[in-house]
Amino acid sequence: MDPILELSGLSKVYPGGLKALDDVDLTIRKGEIFALLGPNGAGKTTLIGAVCGLVRPSSGTIRAFGHDMARDWRGARSRIGLVPQELSTDMFEPVHRAVSYSRGLFGLAPDKARIEEILRSLSLWDKRDERIMALSGGMKRRVLIAKALAHEPDLLFLDEPTAGVDVELRKGMWAIIDEMRSRGVTIILTTHYIEEAEMMADRVGIINRGRLLMVDEKDAMMARLGRTEAHITLAEPRSSLPPQIARFPVELEESGTSLRYRGGDGTGKGKTEVADLTKALIAAGIDYTGIDTRESSLEDIFVTFLGEEGGAA
Amino acid sequence: MISWRSTWSIYTRELMRFLRTAFQSVLAPVLTTSLYFIVFGAAIGGRMPDLGGVDYGAFIIPGLLMLTLLGETTSNSSFGIYMPRFTGTIYELLSAPVGVAETLIGFVGAAMTKSLILATIILLTARLFVDYSIAHPLLAVFYIMLVAAAFSLFGFILGIWADNFEKLGIIPMLFLTPLTFLGGTFYSIDMLPKPWDTIALANPIVYLVSGLRWTFYGSGDVDIWISFSITLGFLAICVGVIAYIFKTGWRLRA
């Protein structure tokens, strides 16, 4: 697919010496949803700020839509939208005026029909004449999305779009993001909710201490790093396992009353192997009273990965 | 190339902000000017001699105009850029395809427009108290616009420099207002005893008040061209500082 954004050797050192971005290379493809995961202070917002013009990179290059952002920033910025993490907007303004302002600021002619379409798609049309300060937190976040969409961007940054919103609103926000994707908007989102990345993203990047540690297709990442875990409760405690059981990645736990399996690759191989294990247990005359299996989530992968990274550092 | 749509958006939004508090914005200068005319024009002015052939009540009009103009343009412009920084809404401006030209014309143009509206209101209010005529009306309008532009730029710098509300108010309160009062608003510096008449020339506001007074009555404390030159010089310095701010991103971009 065509690259829509290319970061090369991007670094940012703040006055005081904090290295927020450390030689980041990243290519974003047209039409994808890219989730940038990382703990607090990892460099996610700095990366977004560098692309959107809020942060001055210390070194490296940013190319968006073929434009070098250092030189031809106007052409590139006009196609980029940003929904910030904070609810930052003029709270005294009515909704429709705030959104219309954003469109004008990006140099586009007024278009009432387009503004109406955006407000309707975000369920804000009924609130169009209300001051933003009178809206709920979830509605305010939708206003920020409407403002970012007002100039019809091809690339949209969503910085923690569901931070602080309840489960229902979060799901509503996912539907909105899905709708934007279906309209061809490329989306880069940062999030603390790994579940969000798991649900939405095509590709995932893990960033920590300013370094981009891993970028991969979400499914490939799950396949490569995902695991199946099964706990089999044995009818009788055992002190050892026969060879036909020991060939599986298993170990006895809880004084021999439980058998733990950990294996597979996140593609379903683990489930098949657990089924084979249960057959082998019966064949070996080892009775069991319960089985509990679970697939590791992206969150497990993320936590394990950052843990290993922390250990290596 | 300048995006005039972007510029217009910034300009109209800033004016809307002004209109949200229009009642207060209009009433305050009308009331203040009326009080000045009642105190200095009627109560004290009646006992003052004509100054350079101009009735004292009429004499103080350019000074009062300058007093309001400097205060309002500086505060309008400084608040205009400080508030987005304070609330975080500046992200939108910084991420938009707008540069220094659009930003300055939008913010400074709006601050100038507000000041010109106020100047008109003050002149109309003054008419209720004293009879006056303007010797060089076009030059007066041009000079008011020049001063409004220079101090809007100054206010813009102040709004970027300030990192709290105290700093935002300290320059207008501690420097601008006292210097304006001491800058010949209510008197001609010829009336000061020596050496204060010479020391007063170190006050840059003297040249602004004198310049505007010249456009009204054809005479001032200093030559009109010196007034114009100083105003233009100040404007040029402000433009230079703002160009530097945008080039380096000082206090705007992290």
Residues of A in contact with B8 (CB under 8 A): 104
Max distance between CA atoms of chain A, in angstroms, equals: 78
What residue spans define the domains of chain B?
4-248
Asked if A105 and B89 come within 8 Å (Cβ–Cβ), the reply is no
Within-domain flag for A311: no
pTM: 0.81
pLDDT value at residue A309: 63
Same domain, residue pair A128 and A277: no
Report the C-alpha gap between B32 and B242 in whole angstroms. Answer: 32
A86 touches chain B (CB under 8 A): yes
Alpha carbon B20 to its chain centroid, in Å, reads 21
- Minimum distance, in Å, between the CA of residue B33 and any CA atom of chain A: 30
| Region class of B113: left (phi > 0), else alpha (psi between -120 and 50), else beta | alpha
Q: How many A/B residue pairs have CB atoms within 8 Å?
A: 73
Within-domain flag for A195: yes
Same domain, residue pair A122 and A231: no
Residues in chain B: 254
Same domain, residue pair A216 and A264: no
- Amino acid symbol at B205: I
Asked if A105 and B254 come within 8 Å (Cβ–Cβ), the reply is no
pLDDT digits (tens, 9 = 90+) for A10-38: 999 998 888 999 999 999 999 999 999 88
**Strand A19-29 to strand A3-13: parallel, antiparallel, or no bridges (unpaired)?**
antiparallel
Same domain, residue pair A72 and A191: yes
B127 touches chain A (CB under 8 A): no
Of all residues in chain A, the one with the smallest CA distance to B97 is A74
Residues of A in contact with B94 (CB under 8 A): 52-54
Same domain, residue pair A185 and A254: no
Which of B1, B2, B9, B87 to mutate to probe the A interface, most A CBs <10 Å? B9
Same domain, residue pair A169 and A263: no
CATH of the domain at A237: 3.30.70
Same domain, residue pair A242 and A206: no
Alpha-carbon dihedral sign for residues A53, A59, A61, A62 = negative
Hey, what's the torsion of the CAs at B175, B177, B183, B188, to 10 degrees?
-160
Report the C-alpha gap between A277 and A284 in whole angstroms. Answer: 10
Per-residue pLDDT of chain B (254 residues; tens, 9 = 90+): 889 999 999 999 989 888 887 777 778 877 888 888 888 777 776 677 777 777 888 888 899 899 888 988 898 889 889 988 898 889 999 999 998 889 989 988 998 898 888 889 888 888 888 888 899 999 999 999 999 999 999 999 999 999 888 888 888 888 888 888 888 888 888 778 788 778 888 888 999 999 999 999 988 888 899 999 999 999 999 999 999 998 888 888 88
- Amino acid symbol at B233: G
Which residues are paired to B199 by β-bridges? none
Same domain, residue pair A199 and A266: no
Partner B, chain A 99-128, Cβ-Cβ below 8 Å? 101-102, 104-109
CATH of the domain at A142: 3.40.50.300
Within-domain flag for A249: yes
Asked if A77 and B88 come within 8 Å (Cβ–Cβ), the reply is no
Same domain, residue pair A20 and A165: yes
- Amino acid symbol at A310: G
Same domain, residue pair A16 and A85: yes
Looking at the 3D structure of chain A, how many domains does it have? Answer: 2
Range of the domain at A124: 3-223
Residue of B230, B200, B229, B224 lying closest to B212 (CA atoms): B224
Asked if B91 and A105 come within 8 Å (Cβ–Cβ), the reply is no
pLDDT value at residue B12: 94
Work out the average pLDDT over A149-156: 92
pLDDT value at residue A313: 42
Which of B91, B93, B246, B252 to mutate to probe the A interface, most A CBs <10 Å? B91
Same domain, residue pair A204 and A238: no
Q: Please, which pLDDT band fits residue A214 given cuts at 50, 70 and 90?
A: confident
User: How far apart, in Å, are the Cα atoms of A102 and each of A108, B96, B156?
Assistant: 9, 9, 22
Continuous H helices in chain B: 4-20, 22-36, 56-87, 90-95, 100-129, 137-161, 165-171, 177-181, 196-199, 204-217, 224-248
| Encoded tokens for B69 | 């103009």
User: ipTM, 2 decimals?
Assistant: 0.84
- Report the Cα–Cα distance between both ends of chain B, in Å, rounded: 25
Cis amide prior to B49 (ω within 30 degrees)? no
Residues of B in contact with A97 (CB under 8 A): 16
Domain stops at, among A204, A223, A242: A223
Within-domain flag for A305: no
Report the C-alpha gap between B121 and B117 in whole angstroms. Answer: 6
Same domain, residue pair A155 and A23: yes
Please, what is the Cα angle at B171 between B165 and B174, to 5 degrees?
A: 110
